[in-house]
Amino acid sequence: MSAGAGTGAPAASRRGILRVMMSSTAERCLRVLHLEDSELDHELTYAQLRRGGLNVAMTRVDSEPGFLRALEQDWDVVLSDYNLPGFSGLVALDLLKASGASIPFLLLSGEIGEDAAVEAMRNGASDYLLKNNMARLVPALLHAVEANETRLAHRAADQELVQSRQRLRELAQHLQTSVEAERAAIAREIHDDVGGSLTALNFDLAWIARHSDSLAVRQRVASALETVAHAIEASQRVMHNLRPAILEQGLVAALQWMSSRFERRTGVACRFRTDCDALALPPGVPLVAYRTAQEALTNITKHAAATQVAIDLTLAAGTLTLEISDNGRGLRSADLQKARSFGIRGLHERAGTVGGWVDLSSHGRGTTLILSVPLDGADALFDPAAGVDILLRDEQSDPSAWGEL
Ligand SMILES: Nc1ncnc2c1ncn2[C@@H]1O[C@H](COP(=O)(O)OP(=O)(O)O)[C@@H](O)[C@H]1O
Ligand SMILES: [Mg+2]
């Protein structure tokens, strides 16, 4: 049941071939499945394709079982008669669609009414041709094959883009998590090594001061003690920036502390409001909220020229919302496209690590940044006895767990 086959190289893979041009399609060996009950019409069609310069490997089938069996193989195009004994082109088209194979389908019939042609096209046929007008066969077939390959290439490129965006998002989130873990580890080392040594030094110097009769020694020791006190203060400041110990007292206390420190340092009025006293927060959420507020306040200091700032923390309908707004100069969407600005981009990724998201709005004057985190059933586990946020984690007693977002 098969007409002569071309001997060229196997047809190129149907995937990812945007670059297939008309000429290369015409040059390669096209695998054509021909649904046709007349051997003579089949031979004529084959001859027409060869005359048109195509290299084809063509197989004829004339029944539904034969067609279904043939669909198990790869084809570049299906050419189908409209009416066959006990079978039809439209049913074949449905079967082809149901198989999930992405193969262009051309109707090639002795006669086909306008209604049938329209229905076929609506059902996904690439084209329809009349057997008495075979001149159009080669261009129509090449066009159908190329359009299909272009569509597949687009689809593959879209999928690749989606995957690559997903990988990028995962990488950015992993980066945020690693940075926090690293910060926690450095803070621990400063606490244990540097802090430990400075405390010991403090004791030793005090001992020397107590046991020395020399005024000069005692004066020198007093000056050394001052330096040590400075170093202790500096290491505590560094530790706090690396891992905000205030979070141990809960997110509410930490935000309260942050807003009053901001007001003291910048002279910009900062009001903190919340209706939450103690709330159960999944691991990572307090730190994400804390870092979000920290970046928003840094941005206000750097860019907003504001005179008033408001921070609101609410828990409603199972979603924790942290809103930081200022009355500054406002923000334009172009500001967020700056190549070297990663603060707000980082906040989006950070929010993603706990299933949340960040919204920014600015209408003329003022900017509002909102972090929303659905708490998935862990909502409103108020514990009035605790008085502070309960960090839901296994190692509640280990503050280094903050590193594990
Ligand atoms: N509160 C704000 N008021 C006005 N402009 C802001 C504010 N926050 C951010 N911006 C603008 O958005 C840009 C991007 O911010 P960000 O991503 O944090 O990067 P960076 O602070 O490093 O520039 C800033 O450069 C600034 O122009
Ligand atoms: Mg910033």
Task: Read off the pLDDT of residues 145-161 as tens digits, 9 standing for 90 and up.
Answer: 999 999 999 999 999 99
Best of 303, 324, 367 to mutate for ligand 1, by most ligand atoms within 8 A of CB?
303
- Cβ(83)–Cβ(36) under 8 Å? no
- Cβ(70)–Cβ(27) under 8 Å? no
- The alpha carbon of residue 312 and the mean position of all alpha carbons in its chain are separated, in whole angstroms, by 28
Cα–Cα distance, 400 to 287 (Å, whole number):
12
Atom of ligand 1 nearest to the CA of 344: 17
pLDDT at 389 over 70: no
Best of 327, 341, 360 to mutate for ligand 1, by most ligand atoms within 8 A of CB?
341
Question: In the prediction, which pLDDT does 112 show?
Answer: 79
pLDDT at 16 over 80: no
Residue 303 alpha carbon to ligand 1 centre in Å: 6
Residue 249 alpha carbon to ligand 1 centre in Å: 30
Residue 294 alpha carbon to ligand 2 centre in Å: 10
**Which residues touch 5 (CB under 8 Å, ≥6 apart)?**
29, 56, 57, 58
Residue 231 alpha carbon to ligand 1 centre in Å: 33
Structure tokens at 10: 């196997």
Residue 162 alpha carbon to ligand 2 centre in Å: 28
- Cβ(268)–Cβ(281) under 8 Å? no
357-374: burial string, b at 16+ Cβ within 10 Å, e else: ebebebeeebbbbbbebe
Question: In the prediction, which pLDDT does 400 show?
Answer: 31
Residue-range domain boundaries for the chain: 2-157, 180-242, 245-403
Nearest Cα residue to atom 8 of ligand 1:
299
- Cβ(123)–Cβ(94) under 8 Å? yes
Question: Which-ligand-closest: CA of 332?
Answer: 1
Cα–Cα distance, 328 to 224 (Å, whole number):
46
Query: Between the CA atoms of 322, 327, 333 and 337, what dihedral angle is there, to the nearest 10 degrees?
Result: -70
Residue 344 alpha carbon to ligand 2 centre in Å: 6
Instruction: Centre a 10 Å sphere on the Cβ of residue 192 and count the other Cβ atoms it contains.
Output: 10
Instruction: Centre a 10 Å sphere on the Cβ of residue 330 and count the other Cβ atoms it contains.
Output: 17
Best of 309, 333, 335 to mutate for ligand 1, by most ligand atoms within 8 A of CB?
335
Task: Give the confidence band of 245 by pLDDT, cuts at 50, 70, 90.
Answer: confident
pLDDT at 17 over 60: no
Atom of ligand 1 nearest to the CA of 326: 1
Pairing verdict, β 365-374 and 357-363: antiparallel
**Which position has the higher pLDDT, 224 or 169?**
224
Q: Under CATH, to which class is 2-157 assigned?
A: alpha beta
Nearest Cα residue to atom 23 of ligand 1:
341
Mean pLDDT throughout 296-306?
96
Cα–Cα distance, 136 to 144 (Å, whole number):
12
Nearest Cα residue to atom 19 of ligand 1:
341
- Distance (Å) of CA 243 to CA 197, 282, 384: 20, 18, 26
The CA-CA-CA angle for residues 31, 106, 29, to 5°, reads: 20
Mean pLDDT throughout 73-93?
94
Q: Phi and psi of 331, rounded to 5°?
A: -135, 140
Cα–Cα distance, 38 to 41 (Å, whole number):
5
- Cβ(51)–Cβ(26) under 8 Å? no
**Which position has the higher pLDDT, 323 or 397?**
323
What are the pocket residues of ligand 1 if the criterion is a CB atom closer than 6 Å to any ligand atom? 299-300, 302-304, 326, 328-329, 331, 335-336, 338, 341, 343-345, 367
- Distance (Å) of CA 43 to CA 3, 8, 38, 39, 98: 7, 20, 9, 6, 29
Q: How far apart are the two ends of the chain, measured CA to CA in Å?
A: 66
Pairing verdict, β 319-326 and 365-374: antiparallel
Q: Which of 130-139, 184-193, 309-318, 369-378 has the lowest average pLDDT?
A: 369-378
Pairing verdict, β 127-130 and 280-281: unpaired
Residue 364 alpha carbon to ligand 1 centre in Å: 15
Question: In the prediction, which pLDDT does 22 show?
Answer: 52
Question: In the prediction, which pLDDT does 105 show?
Answer: 96
Question: In the prediction, which pLDDT does 331 show?
Answer: 92
Q: Is 198 exposed, middle or buried (0-12, 13-18, 19+ CB in 10 A)?
A: buried
**Maximum separation of any 2 CA atoms in the chain, in Å:** 123
Tokens 């400063």: give the residue: 190
Residue 338 alpha carbon to ligand 1 centre in Å: 9
The listed CATH number (3.30.565.10, 3.90.1150.10, 3.40.50.2300, 3.10.20.600) that belongs to domain 245-403: 3.30.565.10
Q: Which helix (H) or strand (E) holds 91?
A: helix 89-99
